[in-house]
Chains A and B, each alone.
Chain A
Amino acid sequence: MLKDFFMLAARSITHRRMRSWLTVIGVFIGITAVVALISVGLGLNKTVEQQVAGVFGVDTFVLVPKGSFGPQRHAGGSSDQYALDLEFLKSIPGVKVAAAVRQRTGFVQGPTKADGTSTQGFLPVMGLSTELVNEFESFTGKLTVQPGGRLFLPEDKDVAVLGADTAERLEAKVGDTLLIAGDANKELNLTVVGIMAPNDEEASTGSSGGFSAGMQPAQSKDTIYVPYDTMSLLWGEASDVLVTLVRTQPGADVDEVADRVEKELNARGSEVSSITYSDISDAIGTMTTTVSAFLAGIAGIALLVGAVGVMNTMFTSVLERTKEIGVMKAVGARNSHILTIFLIESGLMGFVGGVVGTLAGLGLSALASMFIGRFFGVQMAVVASPALILITLAGSFLLGAFAGLWPAWRASKLPVVDALRYE
């Protein structure tokens, strides 16, 4: 019977073709806006997640100063640096590799020049774990040195790699010796083994996925890089760590290991918070969902206008077909039959609007993706998930049916005699 009611409703829609299409257009505009905005929102979310996943992988987390990530970020009292016992961290079960970055400002004396003088001054000195370069390139970006130089090797101790600007300022080249003074008369002569490649386009954009933390050459041209352990010789135990990267053992639960590490380090006085991929993903998810919901809410207004259009059309239809309704009742239709036929009719108009709107919305979303790709250099994913499409189509049918509910109810309640007399 329902199939026959669909046929009756469809016949009525096609009979009043122009009006039906105009009504459908009203719905389709709203659906287009909603689908496009949701699709763009989901695409944005997916793109950012992909980028973050590309950096983090599934087995890595980051230790940052406590309170520098998440809701307590502006709670105050947080420091930019924290104390860390890297060896202890490496010994925590579940940790496979850990690499940290320390930073101080130290007195530096450049190599002696031909005239017997040398340049000296205070410069940022950054201690990098060797693993940072070897294991966490996705975070640091590609660190490249100028020809003739190299980065750190595991056995390196009294060596330094200079930022391009620093090398120029100190007039230092590979093979030269620098003097760096740390705390309490601790000082070391370090041999320059490499000079960072100057900031070129590749260096600045090629590593856009990098978790820089001041480590990229593009941002640290005036820094002196030394091996992590060398920092201890100059400034003692680490109390100046900027960031630590941790890779877990294969098969370990990253969030669990991160929690354990955070707890154990906090117990030892390290004021750290862990950030896992899921933390970032959740934060991004919350943000993009909020933005998407807000935009979809605005688009919903367009949808509401479409729904009012359906309601208007259905009221007109009921009025025009009053006699028809009377005849249907006279030949045995129940009130529920009339109600169903009219609900299907309005639902179908919503559905057709939904189909056209979904296609247009996805098209618009693809166009937005292309636009963003061309002008912002980010390849944004177009999300056309079956769930989104199915929900939209079912939703648009329900929207139409809901908009037609009142007119359909009125049609079903028309007294048969009055309906038959209607001219």
Chain B
Amino acid sequence: MPLLDLRGVTKDYKLGKTVVHALRGLDLRIEKGEIVAIMGPSGSGKSTLMHILGCLDVPTSGEASIEESQISSLSEKQLVELRGHKIGFVFQTFNLMQTLSAQQNVELPMIFQGMKKKERAQRATELLTMVGLADRVNHRPNELSGGERQRVAIARALANDPEILFADEPTGNLDSESGGTILELLKRLSTEYGKTVIIVTHDPDAAAIAERIIHLHDGRVVEEVKNA
């Protein structure tokens, strides 16, 4: 049984009077522990796919399931629950809270899960140490470099020990050196910690760390390439 299973998924948006068909009958299966890269030109439906896989949105039609749960049949509360426990997100623009320190940013998902302060502080420190920022725990985002911010974002995504990590253009705002560090970290998360990592990217270097590359075009999977 695949971890993520999409069959004939469509997603339509209304933009004024126009209906945009972002996904047009998409089939996709992702196994536990895989690193998968989703590539495609702008407007191909990459982000929409990530939103559905990440339980941020529901399909217009078709079946999308995470483990055995049908995403479209879940209530908003259950979707929140899934996001809180099973899924972590890393964004291109990091999306850290500017008013909080690195540690507090990492603690944020744990706050929403009602974890005790001492417990979450300890876990935040461990995660920041894991991503190589042990000496930056009290720094605010504006005191960190782009690469460091993205590492804080990865630590935040791992806060509730999710099974699946979604990274939306994780190297898009980074120089090649910082980008390389982030990609190494993402690979480590899969190989060492058994996380399923799904990277949405334009960057061939980012796609290179994936075991499988899925190419989208006009809301459909047009090619699947397995990396050697």
CA gap between A11 and B76 in the complex, in Å: 28
**In the complex the two chains form, what is the Cα distance from A420 to B51 in whole Å?**
10
**Category for how many chain B residues contact A:** 20 to 34
Whether B114 contacts A334 by the Cβ 8 Å rule is no
Give complex CA distance A330, B157 in Å: 10
For residue A323, CB closer than 8 A to chain B, the reply is yes
Q: How large is the interface on A (under 10, 10 to 19, 20 to 34, 35 or more residues)?
A: 20 to 34
Q: Given that A1-B114, A417-B57 are contacting pairs, would A334 and B95 also be in contact in the complex, using a CB cutoff of 8 Å?
A: no
Q: Using Cβ atoms and an 8 Å threshold, which residues of chain A touch B57?
A: 416-417
Contact present for A15 and B89 (CB under 8 Å):
no
* A4: interface (CB < 8 Å): yes
Please give the distance in Å from A328's CB to the nearest CB on chain B.
7
B76 x A332 contact (CB < 8 A): no
Q: Does A420 lie within 8 Å of B156, measured CB to CB?
A: no
Query: What separation, in Å, do the CA atoms of A324 and B100 have in the docked complex?
Result: 12
A328 CB contact (under 8 Å) in B99, B112, B159? B112
Among B24-32, B77-85, B197-205, B208-216, the stretch that binds chain A is: B77-85
Q: Which residue of B lies closest to A323 (CB)?
A: B95
Chain A: interface secondary structure? helix
A331 close to B80 (CB less than 8 A): no
- 1/0 contact string of B81-95 vs chain A (CB within 8 Å): 001110011010001
Minimum distance in angstroms from A233 CB to a CB of chain B: 92
Whether A334 contacts B100 by the Cβ 8 Å rule is no
What CA separation (Å) do A149 and B111 show in the bound complex?
88
Residue of A nearest to B80 (CB): A334
A327 at the interface (CB under 8 A from B): yes
Is A332's CB under 8 angstroms from B91's CB?
no
CB < 8 Å: which of B76, B88, B114 contacts A335? B76
- Are B56 and A417 neighbours in the complex by a CB distance under 8 Å? yes
Instruction: Give chain A residues whose Cβ lies under 8 Å from the Cβ of B97.
Output: 8, 11, 324, 327
Complex contacts, A417 vs chain B, CB 8 Å: 51, 56-57
Interface check A66, CB cutoff 8 A: no
Q: Which residues of A contact B76 (CB under 8 A)?
A: 335
Does B83 contact A332, Cβ atoms closer than 8 Å? yes
Question: How many Å from the CB of A51 to the closest CB on chain B?
Answer: 55
Binary B-proximity of A293-326 (CB < 8 A = 1, otherwise 0): 0000000000000000000000000000001100
- Tell me if B100 and A332 are in contact (CB < 8 A): no
Cβ–Cβ contact B108 & A330, under 8 A:
no
Contact in complex: B159, A334 (CB < 8 Å) = no
Q: Do B56 and A332 touch (CB < 8 A)?
A: no
Are B56 and A331 in contact, CB atoms less than 8 angstroms apart?
A: no
Min CB gap A92→B, angstroms: 72
Residues from chain B with Cβ under 8 Å of A324 in the complex: 95, 97
> A78 within 8 Å of B by Cβ?
no
Once bound together, how far apart are the Cα atoms of A420 and B56, in whole Å?
10
Chain A residues closer than 8 Å to B112, beta-carbon distance? 328, 331-334, 337
Known: A4-B111, A417-B57. A327 touches B51 (CB 8 A): no
Q: Does B129 contact A (CB under 8 A)?
A: no
- A11 touches which of B56, B99, B160 (Cβ 8 Å): B99
A329 at the interface (CB under 8 A from B): yes
Closest residue of chain B to A420, judged by CB? B56
A11 x B100 contact (CB < 8 A)? yes
Flag if A330 contacts B156 (CB, 8 Å): no
- Cβ-based interface call for B113 (8 A): yes
- Closest-CB distance, A323 to chain B (whole angstroms): 7
Are the CB atoms of A331 and B99 closer together than 8 Å?
A: no
Contacts of B160 in A (CB 8 A): 332
B residues in contact with A11, CB < 8 Å? 97, 99-100
How far, in angstroms, from A236 to B156 measured CA to CA in the complex?
101
Give every chain A residue within 8 A of B80 (Cβ-Cβ). 329, 332-334
In angstroms, Cα B112 to Cα A4, docked, is 9
| Any A CB within 8 A of the CB of B98 | yes
Say yes or no: B89 contacts A331, CB within 8 Å: yes
A397-419 at interface with B (beta carbon < 8 Å): 416-417
B114 to chain A, nearest CB (A): 5
Which parts of A367-423 form the interface with B (CB within 8 Å)? 416-417, 420
Q: Which A residue sits closest to B79, measured CB to CB?
A: A416
Contact assessment for B91 and A327 in the assembled complex, using a CB-CB cutoff below 8 Å: yes
Set of chain B residues within 8 Å of A109, measured between Cβ atoms = none
Judged by a CB distance under 8 angstroms, whether A12 is at the interface is yes
Given pairs A15-B99, A420-B91, 11 additional interface contacts (CB within 8 A): A324-B97, A327-B97, A328-B108, A328-B112, A329-B80, A330-B83, A331-B108, A332-B80, A334-B80, A417-B56, A420-B56
Name 8 interchain pairs, CB-CB below 8 A, sorted by A.
Answer: A1-B114, A8-B99, A330-B54, A330-B56, A330-B89, A331-B156, A331-B157, A417-B56
